[in-house]
Amino acid sequence: MISEKLSKVIRDVPDFPKPGILFKDITPVLANPELSAEVSQTFFDYWSTKNVEGVVGIESRGFIYGLQLAQQLGVPFIPVRKAGKLPYQTIKHSYDLEYGSAEIEIHVDAITKGQRVLIHDDLLATGGTALAAAELIRKIGGEVIGYSFLVELSFLKGQERLKGSGEVHSLVTF
Ligand SMILES: O=P(O)(O)OC[C@H]1O[C@H](OP(=O)(O)OP(=O)(O)O)[C@H](O)[C@@H]1O
Ligand SMILES: Nc1ncnc2[nH]cnc12
């Protein structure tokens, strides 16, 4: 099972980036080409039947598998970036996450009206980041059909915050 393989390989780093945070480090997954290929295939198998019309990846760790998934599905990849990084006209949203707060942006023309998009990120913690991305997508006319994560931290109850706003799929839950 992919979840067992991932739970063995993902590394816990205590007190990063702040005291009290147990950081889930996915770099050992990226260093393992067979496991990484299995991760991509599992995302594709899950979403390939769901009529996805775009994959929104969240900077920066959401870019890693997000672009691959978009390419496999044959749909556009749409980057959501931290404020001040996208060059064209953007809209912004501020939000809180497990270890702080941030502001993300999307290009105003990144999504067409009614386009069915999936939000992809490496990890779901409080859900603040994913909800902020969903807000941006809706503001420019897109439809969020689901959320895709490599890792979910269930004790932070992100899934409850996302409930009712699309299907949530995670490969491993801690
Ligand atoms: O569910 P939440 O509480 O919102 O937390 C999850 C977010 O936190 C991390 O991103 P981070 O802002 O650290 O950026 P990075 O991907 O650039 O490391 C992670 O990649 C998610 O985007
Ligand atoms: N505990 C955690 N580990 C890795 N990424 C995170 N993003 C938010 N919380 C995190």
Q: What is the arithmetic mean of pLDDT over 108-113?
A: 98
| Domain definitions of the chain by residue range | 50-173
Measured from the CA of 25, which atom of ligand 2 is nearest? Answer: 4
Which of 133, 128, 120 is CA-nearest to residue 156?
A: 128
From the candidates 59, 81, 98, 152, which is the catalytic residue? 98
pLDDT tens, position by position, 42-53: 999 999 999 999
Dmax over Cα atoms in the chain, in whole Å? 43
Spatial distance between the Cα atoms of 164 and 161, rounded to a whole number of angstroms: 9
Task: Please give the pLDDT value at position 32.
Answer: 98
Which of 12, 16, 21, 104 most suits a substitution to test ligand 2, by most atoms within 8 Å of the C-beta?
A: 21
Which of 79, 2, 78 is CA-nearest to residue 37?
A: 2
Does the predicted model carry a pTM greater than 0.90?
Answer: yes
pLDDT tens, position by position, 46-77: 999 999 999 999 999 999 999 999 999 999 99
Task: For residue 148, say if its preceding peptide bond is cis, omega within 30 degrees of 0.
Answer: no
pLDDT tens, position by position, 152-173: 999 999 999 999 999 999 999 9
Fold of 50-173: Rossmann fold (3.40.50)
What tokens does 27 get?
A: 């770099």
Spatial distance between the Cα atoms of 59 and 101, rounded to a whole number of angstroms: 14
Active site residue 11: no
The per-residue pLDDT of the chain, averaged, comes to 97
Place of tokens 């409080």: 126
